[in-house]
């Protein structure tokens, strides 16, 4: 009898456990994680603020004051603007006999150049060639990724081709910076590798002479870049000499 009672008790326990397991509701599915898409500021046109607005206004006015044909338009940031400073003698040597316009603004990023284009920078001018070097300011810290900077430069080139369809564009690799090897320099190199693919051999050309701005050990000399970013007169000589053969080709000069 005791054995029979024990069996009935065990069966009851098993039955209750089964009911408990069946009655447990399934755990709700985890809600999908919210994803926030990063906005690429490098392609959104935006004006400069503060003291830079003076140079911005000067450059826009320069375009208005020089309508019609010209030989070369240089477009970029402080390194391009520096043709009027440390590079002025080299500018006179290579470009004094040509009609060339300097559209460099210190501190500019790709988004600022795009804003300039939307606000008259290219209206009315007809350069045979445009030399573009932009993107180093976008590469600071985590401000923009390599892909974002690439897209910014791509948009600038696209705008140049749309607004100046008869102008041949020479895209320059972003110049190396920092005293020696650095993460930022590596970032720039990756961007340059992709920029090379913009060239079509007809209206868009690419040139990278960054290796001429560094030493054999990978360092940058103060004789070429006193602050490891901006060029000295010797640095501008390297720039001018490096692009002169291509410019002659684009301008149809002998």
Q: Which residues are catalytic?
A: 78, 227, 230
Q: Which long-range contacts (CB under 8 A, 24 or more apart) does 240-249 make?
A: 240/87, 240/90, 240/91, 240/93, 240/94, 240/95, 242/207, 242/209, 242/212, 243/131, 243/170, 243/172, 243/207, 243/209, 244/94, 246/170, 246/205, 246/207, 247/72, 247/129, 247/131, 247/170
The dihedrals phi and psi of 17, each to the nearest 5 degrees, come to -65, -40
Rounded distance, CA 133 to CA 192, Å? 11
The dihedrals phi and psi of 215, each to the nearest 5 degrees, come to -90, 175
Rounded distance, CA 17 to CA 234, Å? 87
Please list the alpha-helical segments (H only) found in the chain: 2-23, 52-65, 78-81, 88-95, 110-118, 146-163, 183-195, 233-251
């Amino acid at each position: 009898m005791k054995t029979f009672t024990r069996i009935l008790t065990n069966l009851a326990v098993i039955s209750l456990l089964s009911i408990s397991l069946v009655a447990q509701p399934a755990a709700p599915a985890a809600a999908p994680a919210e994803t926030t898409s990063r906005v690429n500021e490098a392609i959104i046109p935006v004006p400069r603020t503060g003291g830079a607005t003076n140079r911005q206004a000067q450059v826009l006015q320069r375009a208005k004051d020089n309508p019609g044909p010209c030989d070369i338009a240089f477009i970029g940031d402080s390194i391009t603007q520096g043709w009027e400073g440390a590079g002025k003698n080299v500018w006179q040597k290579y470009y004094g006999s040509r009609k060339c316009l300097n559209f460099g603004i210190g501190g500019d990023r790709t988004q600022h150049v795009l804003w300039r284009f939307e606000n008259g920078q290219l209206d009315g001018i007809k350069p045979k060639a445009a030399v573009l070097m932009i993107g180093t300011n976008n590469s600071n810290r985590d401000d923009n990724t390599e892909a974002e900077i690439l897209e910014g430069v791509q948009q600038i080139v696209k705008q140049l081709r749309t607004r100046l369809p008869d102008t041949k564009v020479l895209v320059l690799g972003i110049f190396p910076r920092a005293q020696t090897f650095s993460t930022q320099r590596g970032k720039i190199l990756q961007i340059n590798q992709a920029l090379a693919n913009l060239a079509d051999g007809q209206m868009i050309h690419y040139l990278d002479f960054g290796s001429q701005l560094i030493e054999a050990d990978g360092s940058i000399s103060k004789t070429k870049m006193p602050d490891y970013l901006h060029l000295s007169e010797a640095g501008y000589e390297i720039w001018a000499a490096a692009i002169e053969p291509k410019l002659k080709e684009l301008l149809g000069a002998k």
